[in-house]
Amino acid sequence: MSHRADPHFLLELQKRGAANIELCFNCGNCTAVCPLSTEKENFPRRMIRYAQLGMPEKLIGNKELWMCYYCGECTATCPRQADPGELMAAARRYAISRYDRLGLARLLYTSSTFNVLFLVLLAIVLGLLLYAFHGPMARDTLRLFGFIPARAIHDIGVIVGVIIILLAISGVISMTFHLAKETGGLEGARLNWLPALWKTIGEVFGQQRYRRDCEAYAKRQPWYIEKWFVHASIMWGFMGLFLATALDYLLGLLGVKPTGTYVPIWYPTRLLGTLAGAILVCGVTVAIVKRLWKADEAAAYSTPSDWAFLVLLWLGGMSGFALEAAIYLPEPYGWSYWTLLAHLVIVGELLLLMPFSKFAHVFYRTVALYIHALKPVRGTERARAGL
């Protein structure tokens, strides 16, 4: 099948971070040193050729695009300083932009000015929307959900959740279509769906290949600053906070504990939220420090959207701990109520930006890994299945 070359494709990737990829002369060194490469998965070399030949459909239609964790080994050993690791990251940004039907991701990834203005405007809109429901700031005792009612937070949260789910589903469907088109479909894969699902869950939550293969090539360093742990702690922390919030709301629906009532730190949902928040802040702090110091190849280049993502995560975690501390103060202070409003705005921004930011990796990588884990059915298995 012939493919029409897009002469502007390389420029689009360079706008998203792949500044030096035209220096590559296809020596294959990056594939030779990549711990994830196999006979059938020769990335990032294949991705570089797709980029240089102007073949965006072939590039975003490859499952390997989402398997890369950007260990930086290819960039560190590239004889031409073409930075193939950053090409893979830029390609993922491009893919997210393509799967986003609104066009917002493209603007966030390519324009620093738009990135800042959009985040500020979104914060103002969310802040005014939440403040419209505000009540009094109690002075006798701290009543955070008397200032911003839990019901209002829930209703706005449901609306935000529906928007996120619809956008995520739209993007995943688009990605699945591209993968199926470029890989020849998923014929017979249904017979392997359960083992593939189990394998995907282990990789997503256990970071198995990241720890086993990628980190094996990295310099030895304390476990708490290893790339896999930083990556995993951010994901685990956010998922833990989401689970704690969902469980707290469920307990309210069941009448076990009304939403917003204060409980001891050892109460299960609160303890889960506190631990998850600590893990999140730890991972994000290490990630920010690494990027400030440019500690390795993966941290040497950061887009404005990368910084916005990390800063919002850090502010969200720290504002949450500030609210935890406010509960134990001898008297309520006005800043506690404003901190609640700021915390809700930050979390709202993070959630709304999920389909357009690095958070989109959560569902795109998961689906790509699942499709990659599916095996075609051949020979006796096909005959037994009546195919």
| Cα–Cα distance measured from residue 252 to residue 247, given in angstroms and rounded to the nearest whole number | 9
Whether residue 382 has pLDDT greater than 50: no
Q: What is the pLDDT of residue 220?
A: 65
Q: Kindly give, in sequence order, each residue whose CB lies less than 8 Å from that of residue 86, ignoring residues fewer than 6 positions away.
A: 17, 18, 19, 20, 21, 75, 300, 301
pLDDT confidence band for 385 (50 / 70 / 90): very low
Please check the confidence at residue 327 and state whether its pLDDT lies above 70.
yes
Q: How many Cα atoms sit within 13 Å of 90 on the Cβ side? A: 26
Tokens of 25: 């002369």
Q: Give the confidence band of 215 by pLDDT, cuts at 50, 70, 90.
A: low
Q: What is the mean pLDDT of residues 289-307?
A: 88
Question: Looking at the domain that runs over 113-373, which CATH code has it been given?
Answer: 1.20.950
More confident: 364 or 184: 364
As a whole number, mean pLDDT of residues 23-33 equals 90
Percent of the chain residues past pLDDT 90, beyond the cut: 48
Q: Would you state the pLDDT for residue 42?
A: 75
Instruction: Give the per-residue pLDDT at 219.
Output: 60
CA distance 134 to 341: 10
Instruction: Please check the confidence at residue 383 and state whether its pLDDT lies above 50.
Output: no
Asked if pLDDT for residue 254 goes beyond 90, the answer is no
Contact call for residues 141 and 330 (beta carbons, < 8 A): no
| Res 261 pLDDT > 50 | yes
Instruction: Write out the DSSP string of 350-387.
Output: HHHTTTTSGGGHHHHHHHHHHHHH-----HHHHHHHT-
373 Cβ contact list (under 8 Å, min separation 6): 192, 195, 196, 197, 199, 200
Mean pLDDT of the chain: 87
pLDDT at residue number 380: 37
pLDDT at 381: 39
pLDDT score of 112 more than 80: yes
Express each pLDDT in 119-162 by its tens digit. Answer: 999 999 999 999 999 999 998 888 999 999 988 998 999 999 99
Which pLDDT score is estimated for 378?
43
How far apart, in whole angstroms, are the C-alpha atoms of residue 72 and residue 300? 10
pTM of the model as a whole: 0.90
Domain edges within the chain: 9-99, 113-373
Weakest mean pLDDT among 271-285, 322-336, 344-358: 322-336
In this prediction, residue 384 has a pLDDT band, given cuts at 50, 70 and 90, of very low
Tokens of 375: 């095996």
Secondary structure of 200-266 in HEC code, one letter for each residue? HHHHHHHCHHHHHHHHHHCCCCCHHHCHHHHHHHHHHHHHHHHHHHHHHHHHHHCCCCCCCCCCCCC
Over residues 38-58, the mean pLDDT reads 86
Q: How confident is the model at residue 191 (pLDDT cuts 50, 70, 90)?
A: low
pLDDT digits (tens, 9 = 90+) for 163-184: 999 999 999 999 988 888 776 6
Q: Which pLDDT score is estimated for 265?
A: 84
Residues 6+ apart with CB under 8 A from 316: 343, 346, 347, 350
pLDDT > 70 fraction of the chain, expressed in percent and rounded:
91
Please check the confidence at residue 188 and state whether its pLDDT lies above 70: no
Is the pLDDT score of 86 beyond 50?
yes
Query: Could you tell me the two tokens for 298?
Result: 């993966």
Higher pLDDT, 40 or 271: 271
Judge whether residue 109 has pLDDT over 90.
yes
pLDDT (0 to 100) of residue 312: 96
Q: Which two tokens stand for residue 262?
A: 């204060």
